[in-house]
Amino acid sequence: MFKDLLSPQNTFIYGVLLCGIFLVQSLWGHWKTKRELKRYKGMLSDKLDLDSKQSQEINKERAVLKQENENLRMQVARLNERPDNKMQRELEILARAEKQMVITAPGFAPAWEMAKATALGQLENEERGQSFPQKIFRKLIGSGSSQSNVALPESAAAAAKNGEAAASIA
Torsion 106-108-114-118 (CA) sign: positive
User: What DSSP string describes 123-139?
Assistant: HHHHHHT-S--HHHHHH
Report the C-alpha gap between 80 and 77 in whole angstroms.
5
Distance from C-alpha of 119 to C-alpha of 115, rounded to nearest angstrom = 6
Contact 146, 167 (CB under 8 A): no
Q: What is the pLDDT of residues 129-147, one digit of tens each?
A: 766 655 555 555 655 444 4
In the predicted structure, residue 25 carries a pLDDT above the cut 60: yes
- Predicted TM-score of the model (pTM): 0.39
Yes or no: say if 85 and 79 are a contact pair by the CB < 8 Å rule: yes
What value does the mean pLDDT take over residues 26-52? 96
> In this structure, which amino acid lies at residue 147?
Q
Q: Residue 114: what pLDDT?
A: 79
pLDDT tens-digit readout, 76-126: 888 877 777 778 888 888 888 877 776 776 666 677 777 778 888 888 887
